[in-house]
């Protein structure tokens, strides 16, 4: 009889421990029903992400997500922003396997897909903690707060040759010293580069002169931030325009050749947009990831390990929206909204016209 009671007690204790372990996977403050989402994700056992974030920056997030949900294998595919869009679009059209989650700095391409009906509507439990401009119809969410910067070679430029505003940049790169020494994104191949430049066309009164100055300097274009930073550091290029500040600021901490300027007239700020594929193969795991990356815990990893500038105002660390606002002032920051409005120039006729003018002016050699 006593032996039977012991068995029953052991079974009850094991059951309680199992329940406690399961409940521990539901973050504090989340609704009780969230356990069903966790259980569904565990059954799926996998999550496929297409991301335009360097694997080195994404890995701390994946590692921490797996600490919370060890039963979910994360397959992360690192591509440039245009590749994320093209691969997802073609795979979706063919009806084959594709990503559960898309996460990209090319806000315009992300919003084109989301507004085009490719994104699942999911109201994240963390949505209320984001700025109002950083969420669209419970479907697409901004996850970071990243500035566009001027990056220059500190060894090869004098203080008076370092631009502080966009107008300074236009003036300075027309000097003979900068011939073949200026770099920016290849706006045909880089989605984020195209979006930055179209925003400059909208916000900068001297945009035409900027294009002409690029042409006079014989600008050198690249499809990735890393390549631009390498060439500026080596001295092959002297200065870069609209370089993604999150990567540049981190690199500059360990590279004494690199200087970074956040323009004082206005600084464009992008937010890496995430959404869930409407027909995701692993929808529960995708929802868990979305909530995690927007959570205080996930945003703390973004700020302090991934160094991508957390978007939430309640997160502390050097690379956060709060610190950036303190540094250059809120009135000088121009965050791009998570909205279909950022995709205006992706309309085929407008895109073609914009690229044609760029090639005729800035792109001429």
147-269+343-361 is classed CATH 3.40.190.10? yes
Instruction: Look at residue 75 and tell me whether its pLDDT is greater than 90.
Output: yes
296, 307 in Cβ contact below 8 A? no
- Which is nearest to 232 in space by CA: 181, 197, 192, 187? 181
Nearest Cα to 119, choosing from 108, 111, 130, 129? 111
187 Cβ contact list (under 8 Å, min separation 6): 193, 194, 197, 221, 355, 358
Confidence band, pLDDT 50/70/90 cuts, at residue 331: confident
Same CATH topology for 29-145+271-328 and 147-269+343-361? yes
- Alpha helix stretches (DSSP H) within the chain: 2-24, 34-44, 55-68, 81-94, 107-113, 166-172, 191-203, 207-217, 225-234, 245-254, 283-294, 296-301, 321-328, 348-361
Residue given tokens 């490719």 in the structure block = 118
Query: Is 120 in contact with 280 (CB distance < 8 Å)?
Result: yes
Q: In the chain, where are the structural domains located?
A: 29-145+271-328, 147-269+343-361
Residue 284 has pLDDT above 90, yes or no: yes
pLDDT single digits (tens) 293-313: 999 999 999 999 998 999 999
- For the cut 60, the answer to whether the pLDDT of residue 140 exceeds it is yes
Q: Tell the burial category of 309 from Cβ atoms under 10 Å away from its Cβ (0-12, 13-18, 19+).
A: buried
Cβ–Cβ < 8 Å for 153, 351: no
Residue 1 has pLDDT above 80, yes or no: no
Write the CATH number of the domain with boundaries 29-145+271-328: 3.40.190.10
> What's the whole-model pTM score?
0.85
Adjacent-strand bridge partners of 320 = 310
Q: How confident is the model at residue 6 (pLDDT cuts 50, 70, 90)?
A: very low
**Tokens of residue 93, six digits:** 């059209």
Cβ-based neighbour number of residue 348 at 10 Å: 7
């Amino acid at each position: 009889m006593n032996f039977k009671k012991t068995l029953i007690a052991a079974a009850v204790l094991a059951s309680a421990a199992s329940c406690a372990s399961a409940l521990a996977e539901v973050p504090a403050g989340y609704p009780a029903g969230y356990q069903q989402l966790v259980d569904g994700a565990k059954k799926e056992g996998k999550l496929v992400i297409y991301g335009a974030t360097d694997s080195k920056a994404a890995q701390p997030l994946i590692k921490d997500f797996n600490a919370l949900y060890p039963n979910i294998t994360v397959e992360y595919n690192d591509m440039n922003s245009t590749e994320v869009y093209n691969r997802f679009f073609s795979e979706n059209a063919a009806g084959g396997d594709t990503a559960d989650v898309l996460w990209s700095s090319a806000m315009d391409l992300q919003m084109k897909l989301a507004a085009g009906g490719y994104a699942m509507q999911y109201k994240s439990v963390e949505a209320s903690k984001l700025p109002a401009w950083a969420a669209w119809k419970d479907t697409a969410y901004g996850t970071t707060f990243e500035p566009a910067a001027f990056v220059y070679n500190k060894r090869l430029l004098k203080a008076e040759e370092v631009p502080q505003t966009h107008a300074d940049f236009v003036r300075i790169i027309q000097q003979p010293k900068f011939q073949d020494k200026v770099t920016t994104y290849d706006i045909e191949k880089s989605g984020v580069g195209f979006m930055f430049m179209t925003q400059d066309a909208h916000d900068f009164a001297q945009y035409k002169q900027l294009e002409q100055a690029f042409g006079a300097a014989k600008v050198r274009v690249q499809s990735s931030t890393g390549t631009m930073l390498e060439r500026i550091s080596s001295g092959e290029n002297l200065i870069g325009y609209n370089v993604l500040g999150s990567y540049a600021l981190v690199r500059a901490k360990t590279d004494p050749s690199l200087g970074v300027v956040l323009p004082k007239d206005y600084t464009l700020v992008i937010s890496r947009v995430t959404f869930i594929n409407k027909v995701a193969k692993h929808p529960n795991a995708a929802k868990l990831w979305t909530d995690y990356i927007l959570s205080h815990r996930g945003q703390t990893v973004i700020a302090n390990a991934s160094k991508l500038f957390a978007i939430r105002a309640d997160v502390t660390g050097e690379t956060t929206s709060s610190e950036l606002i303190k540094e250059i002032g809120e009135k000088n920051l121009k965050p791009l909204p998570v909205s279909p409005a950022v995709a205006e120039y992706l309309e085929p006729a407008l895109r073609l016209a914009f690229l044609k003018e760029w090639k005729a002016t800035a792109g001429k050699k």
